Structure 1
Amino acid sequence: MTKDAAGTETLGRLAHFPITIFGITMGLFGLALALRAGGFGAASMSVMWISAAVFLALITLYGVKAIRFPAHVAGEWSHPVKLSFFPAANISILLLSILLQGQVPAISAALWMLGAGVQAVLTLVIVTAWISHRAFTPEMMSPAWFIPAVANAIVPLGGMHLGFIGISWYFFSIAVLFWSILLTLVFNRLIFHDPLPGKLRPTLVILIAPPSIAFLAWIELTGGTIDAMAHVLLNLGLFFAALVAIQVPALVRLPFALSFWALSFPLAALTTALFRFAALSGVEGYHMAANGLLVLLCLIILVLGIRTVRAAMAGDICQPD
Structure 2
Amino acid sequence: MQGGQMMARAQAGVAAEARLAHFPVTFFAIGMGMMGLTLALRAGEAAFALGPEASRAALLVSLALLGLVALGYLAKGLLHPAAVAAEWRHPVRIAFFPAISISLLLLSVALLEEQPEAARLVWMAGTALQGVLALSVIGAWIGHRSFQQGQLTPAWFIPAVGNVIVPLAGVRLGHPELSWLFFSGGLIFWIVLLTLVMNRLMFHEPLPGKMVPTLMILVAPPAVSFLAWLRLTGEVGAFGHILLSIAYVFALIVASQAAKFTRMPFALSWWALSFPLAALTIASFAYAAAAGSAPHRLIGAGLLGLLLLVVAGLVLRTGLGIWRREICIAE
Question: Do Structure 1 and Structure 2 share a fold, with TM-score over 0.5?
Answer: yes
Deviation at 1:226, TM superposition (A): 1.6
Query: Which letter maps to 2:319?
Result: V
Q: Deviations over 1:9-39 (max 9, x none)?
A: 1000000000011111111100000011111
Equivalent in the alignment of 2:190? 179
- Matches of 1:135 and 1:7, distance apart in 2: 38
Equivalent in the alignment of 2:128? 117
Equivalent in the alignment of 1:13? 19
5+ long unaligned stretches in structure 1: none
Equivalent in the alignment of 1:134? 145
Deviation at 1:123, TM superposition (A): 1.3
More off after superposition, 8-17 vs 246-255: 246-255
Task: Indicate yes or no: 2:88 matched with 1:77.
Answer: yes
Deviation at 1:251, TM superposition (A): 0.7
- Matches of 1:120 and 1:23, distance apart in 2: 18
1:257 to 267, 270, 275: 267
- Matches of 2:53 and 2:158, distance apart in 1: 29
Equivalent in the alignment of 2:318? 308
Task: Indicate yes or no: 2:44 matched with 1:38.
Answer: yes
Task: Indicate yes or no: 2:97 matched with 1:94.
Answer: no
Task: Indicate yes or no: 2:179 matched with 1:168.
Answer: yes
2:30 to 20, 24, 34: 24
Deviation at 1:306, TM superposition (A): 0.3
- Structure 1's consecutive aligned runs of 4 or more residues displaced over 3 angstroms after TM superposition are none
- Matches of 1:217 and 1:45, distance apart in 2: 23
Whether contact under 8 Å (2:26, 2:96) holds in the other structure is yes
Task: Indicate yes or no: 2:73 matched with 1:67.
Answer: no
Task: Indicate yes or no: 2:202 matched with 1:191.
Answer: yes
Equivalent in the alignment of 2:279? 269
Deviation at 1:133, TM superposition (A): 3.8
- Matches of 2:172 and 2:136, distance apart in 1: 27
Query: Which letter maps to 1:16?
Result: H
Q: Deviations over 1:143-195 (max 9, x none)?
A: 00000000000001010010101000000000001000000000110111100
Q: Which has the larger radius of gyration?
A: 2
More off after superposition, 128-137 vs 205-214: 128-137
Deviation at 1:83, TM superposition (A): 0.3
Equivalent in the alignment of 2:244? 234
- Matches of 1:195 and 1:187, distance apart in 2: 11
Whether contact under 8 Å (2:31, 2:62) holds in the other structure is yes
5+ long unaligned stretches in structure 2: none
Equivalent in the alignment of 2:295? 285
Query: Which letter maps to 1:79?
Result: H
Q: For this pair of structures, how many residues does the alignment match?
A: 320
Deviation at 1:52, TM superposition (A): 0.5
Quote the RMSD (CA, aligned, Å): 0.8
- Matches of 2:43 and 2:289, distance apart in 1: 9
TM-score of the aligned structures, taking structure 1 as reference length = 0.98
